Amino acid sequence: MTSNIVVVGSLNMDFVVMVNHLPAPGETVLGRDFQMIPGGKGANQACAAGKLGSGAVATRMLGRVGYDVFADHLKASLAAAGVDVSAVHATRSQPTGVALIWVDKDGQNSIVVASGANHALTASEIQGHRASFRGAGLALFQLETPLDAVAAALALAREEGARTMLDPAPAQPLPRDLLERVDILTPNESEACILLSRRVSRVTPAEAPALAAELLRLGPKAVILKLGEQGCYYCDGQAAIHSPAFQVAVRDTTAAGDTFNAGLAVAIAEGKNIGEALRFANAAAAISVTRLGAQASIPSRAEVEAFLNRPR
Ligand code: RIB
């Protein structure tokens, strides 16, 4: 069984600089190795779904870019991954989104996004894309486009029978009526804390069940807590699974969460059970953190299968 995936979200050109340590407020640090790498949480998820779906799962992206050279690069990167970009439209009023990213020697990053054209995606434009959701198995969302556009797209996806997956990043508190349209909510630790209006702190796997239960009370049908090197925790109120992370040498965590979500969506679209889908998503994310950049780090389907089948 396979079904199609629709991704609604942002496209950014990432300006990436390697640094020894992330700058503190007021500090100037000397960086190395500047690179421009296609990114944006929405585009990363679409690119990963295209690569991991390997042609068997059709992926379509809805979003906004500007009229500039970055737009061409971003659309080309998605098209090369097999993604349908015919619903990525250009706006004259704003430049293509960019993200300024510093990556330190331990692979941790700081990101500032200048949203540009991503913020020109409107709820009324989304209403014109009903046909994009028709027949789709899953629709993926994040929060780098305006919230009313996300809410409209979630409603449309539900009406057309697609399962919805929301990555609540960048973190912000969300209204209950929006969360009630979410089938699978996938926060990391800090996003989970912000959704629950509590102080951001690390979450251990032992604390995950209570946190997931609180998140379920906000309205989604299922929650997957992304716990970084501690793996992830799935809970739908009945079944609960802790899926451990694969241990790898971390180079850059940018887009690991996006790769995870797309891997999960592809595996679900292919009919894998949730335990298998979490393992597949963890493997794709693990490979991505061993490489620099967002879309440049996303593995192919063959690489994930080789990783899962490697001798141990
Ligand atoms: O999730 C990683 C992404 O966040 C980067 O590619 C950057 O563009 C920001 O949107």
- The model's pLDDT over 54-68, given as tens digits with 9 standing for 90+, comes to 888 999 999 999 999
Average pLDDT over residues 170-181: 96
Rounded to the nearest whole angstrom, what is the distance from the C-alpha of residue 123 to the centroid of ligand 1? Answer: 22
Q: Which residues contact 21 (CB under 8 A, 6 or more apart)?
A: 29, 104, 105
Q: Does the beta carbon of 144 lie inside 6 Å of ligand 1?
A: yes
Asked if 235 contacts 212 with a C-beta cutoff of 8 angstroms, the reply is yes
Ligand 1 atom nearest residue 43's Cα: 6
pLDDT at residue 72, rounded to an integer: 97
Atom 6 in ligand 1: residue holding the nearest Cα: 39
Say yes or no to pLDDT of 14 above 80: yes
Query: Is there a catalytic annotation at residue 258?
Result: yes
Residue range 140-171, pLDDT digits in tens: 999 999 999 999 999 999 999 999 999 999 99
Whether the per-residue pLDDT at 263 is higher than 70: the answer is: yes
Cβ(191) – ligand 1 distance below 6 Å: no
Q: Is 258 in the pocket of ligand 1 (CB under 6 A)?
A: yes
pLDDT of residue 122: 96
Q: Ligand 1 atom 2: the closest Cα is on which residue?
A: 255
Q: Among the atoms of ligand 1, which is closest to the Cα of residue 38? A: 6
Query: For residue 12, which of 71, 62, 92 has the smallest C-alpha distance?
Result: 71
CB neighbour list of residue 261: distance below 8 Å, 6 or more residues apart: 45, 48, 140, 165, 167, 186, 281
What is the pTM for the complete model shown? Answer: 0.97
How many angstroms does the Cα of residue 294 sit away from the middle of ligand 1?
A: 7
Reported as a pLDDT band with limits 50, 70 and 90, residue 295 is: very high
Q: How far apart are CA 134 and CA 137, in angstroms?
A: 9
Q: Does the Cβ of 39 fall within 6 Å of ligand 1?
A: yes
The pLDDT value given to residue 1:
61
The model's pLDDT over 186-236, given as tens digits with 9 standing for 90+, comes to 999 999 999 999 988 888 889 999 999 999 999 999 999 999 999 999 999
Helix axes 41-53, 256-269, angle to 10 degrees: 40
Please tell me the distance from the alpha carbon of residue 44 to that of residue 41, in angstroms, as a whole number. 5
Report the SS3 class of residue 60.
Answer: strand
